[in-house]
């Protein structure tokens, strides 16, 4: 019998410090720049202060990109523009520095960590630090079979928790979370549709490489069929991840929840991260308070999930490549908000202010005396 109790996360996760947030808001009122003139950067700085428990907010000095990787059997149906089982090629390109997320990470001086959960390749294809949490080779075809066994789902979830602990223990102060998958957006669409009670067509997007109409219809059909398998297990989130998720999605869900336990802010990337966050919200309702939506990917499933969690994307640049690239673009915005909140000077009284106040007070007293 499993010793994993997801209800524990409800007790373990606290909201960011409300008292600190009020202190951050009060400090913002005293800044020389008028309140509201910095737009969402004000809210972002105050949120970060509450997450850190610090006023003024500390700079984000040790961010990290964490990417969970896996192949999905449903890709065999032609629901992706990439060949089934080809996520390993993307991982190689990331590690070699040739993908958008790797280029951006170099420029922003942010390390990238890739965690292989279910790539369809030999386990010795990548370094040990990439593959040591792997659960299986590829996840099952969710339209006709479970993605994982119950034991594999628990192992993947626990792996995500372990990765979060490793990052927190190493001093990471903010995570940019993404996925490297083929077929992952289909699994994500099933999770979002199941948890939001919508039809397949409402959540089905065209993926990072913009599939054609026929592939979109195949993807809709796959999500519809998988939804039939998802609905009977909606009450058990680990069973749901086993039935229609995948090892990478189960790990991302565990990772997100443990980041909230460890009070480590997370910037979400695309629809896969949003779907896992939605599952995490079902497990622990306070958890989304620790997450930011980095950007809008244009995927309808992401829009639906973020709306359900009341998370508004920081950017909308039409980035659909996935792999954490869009969310990483939001990191300079987070750092800018922290710098402005911490470094802008507070207002100081101008010379003569006190004498003017005293003169005004004297005039009031004289008027009162005259009235008497």
Over residues 259-282, the pLDDT tens digits come to: 999 999 999 999 999 999 999 999
In this prediction, residue 347 carries a pLDDT of: 82
- Region 167-186 average pLDDT: 96
pLDDT bin (cut points 50, 70, 90) of residue 349 is low
Alpha carbon 142 to chain centroid distance? Answer: 24
Extract the tokens encoding 286. 């306070």
pLDDT of residue 351: 43
323: annotated active-site residue = yes
pLDDT of the residue at 249: 98
Q: Bridge partners of 315?
A: 295
DSSP string, 255-277: HHHHHHHTT--EEE-SHHHHHHH
CA pair distance 281, 301, nearest whole angstrom: 16
- Residue 150: burial class (beta carbons within 10 Å; 0-12, 13-18, 19+): middle
Q: Answer yes or no: are the C-beta atoms of 65 and 111 closer than 8 Å.
A: yes
Token digits of residue 239: 């069973």
Task: Round to whole Å and give the CA distance between 320 and 327.
Answer: 11
What percentage of the chain has pLDDT greater than the value 70? 92
pLDDT at 2 over 80: no
Query: What phi and psi values does residue 183 have, to the nearest 5 degrees?
Result: 95, -5
How many Cβ atoms are within 10 Å of 89's Cβ, its own excluded?
A: 15
What local confidence, expressed as pLDDT, does residue 1 receive? 41
| Domains delineated in the chain | 16-57+340-371 (1.10.1610.10), 63-333 (3.40.50.10210)
- How large is the average pLDDT for residues 8-16? 95
323, 343, 354, 368: which one is catalytic?
A: 323
Instruction: Enumerate long-range contacts of 137-140, CB under 8 Å, 24 or more apart.
Output: 138/70, 138/71, 138/72, 138/73, 138/85, 139/70, 139/71, 139/72, 139/73, 139/187, 139/245, 139/246, 139/247, 139/248, 140/73
Mean pLDDT of 114-127: 94
| Residue 80: predicted pLDDT | 86
Where does the pLDDT of residue 108 fall: very low under 50, low under 70, confident under 90, or very high at 90 and above? very high
pLDDT tens for each residue of 297-322: 888 999 999 999 999 999 998 888 88
DSSP 31: B
pLDDT of 169 higher than 70: yes
- The two beta strands, 112-118 and 266-268, are unpaired
Answer whether 106's CB lies under 8 Å from 339's CB: no
* Contact of 293 with 311, CB cutoff 8 Å: yes
For the stretch 212-239, pLDDT in tens is: 889 889 999 999 999 999 999 999 999 9
CA distance 327 to 314: 9
- Which residue do the tokens 């939804």 mark? 227
Q: How high is the pLDDT of residue 369?
A: 53
Q: What's the pLDDT at 355?
A: 46
Identify the top-confidence range among 34-43, 168-177, 202-211: 168-177
């Amino acid at each position: 019998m499993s010793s994993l109790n997801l209800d524990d996360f409800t007790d373990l996760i606290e909201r960011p410090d409300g008292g600190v947030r009020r202190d951050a808001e009060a400090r913002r009122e005293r800044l020389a720049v008028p309140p509201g003139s910095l737009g969402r950067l004000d809210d972002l700085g105050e949120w970060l202060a509450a997450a850190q428990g610090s006023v003024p907010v500390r700079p984000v000095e040790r961010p990290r990109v964490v990417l969970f990787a896996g192949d999905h059997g449903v890709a065999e149906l032609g629901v992706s523009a990439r060949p089934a089982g080809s996520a390993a090629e993307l991982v190689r390109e990331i590690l070699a520095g040739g993908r958008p997320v790797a280029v951006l990470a170099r420029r922003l001086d942010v390390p990238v960590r890739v965690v292989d959960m279910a790539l369809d390749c030999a386990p010795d294809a990548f370094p040990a630090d990439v593959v040591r949490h792997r659960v299986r080779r590829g996840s099952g075809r969710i339209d006709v079979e479970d993605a994982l066994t119950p034991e594999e789902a628990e192992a993947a979830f626990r792996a995500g928790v372990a990765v979060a602990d490793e990052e927190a223990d190493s001093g990471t102060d903010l995570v940019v979370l993404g996925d490297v998958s083929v077929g992952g957006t289909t699994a994500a669409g099933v999770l979002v549709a199941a948890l939001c009670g919508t039809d397949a067509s409402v959540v089905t997007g065209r993926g990072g490489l913009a599939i054609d109409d026929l592939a979109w219809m195949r993807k809709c059909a796959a999500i519809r069929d998988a939804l039939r398998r998802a609905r009977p297990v909606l009450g058990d989130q680990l069973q749901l991840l086993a039935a229609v998720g995948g090892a990478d999605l189960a790990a991302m869900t565990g990772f997100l929840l443990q980041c909230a336990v460890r009070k480590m802010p997370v910037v979400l990337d695309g629809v896969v991260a949003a779907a896992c966050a939605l599952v995490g919200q079902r497990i622990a309702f306070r958890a989304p308070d620790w997450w930011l939506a980095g950007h809008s990917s244009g995927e309808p499933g992401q829009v639906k999930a973020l709306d359900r969690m009341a998370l508004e994307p920081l950017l909308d640049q039409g980035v659909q490549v996935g792999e954490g690239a869009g969310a990483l673009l939001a990191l300079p915005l987070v750092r800018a908000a922290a710098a402005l909140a911490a470094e802008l000077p507070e207002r100081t009284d101008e010379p003569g202010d006190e004498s003017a106040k005293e003169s005004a007070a004297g005039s009031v007293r004289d008027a009162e005396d005259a009235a008497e």
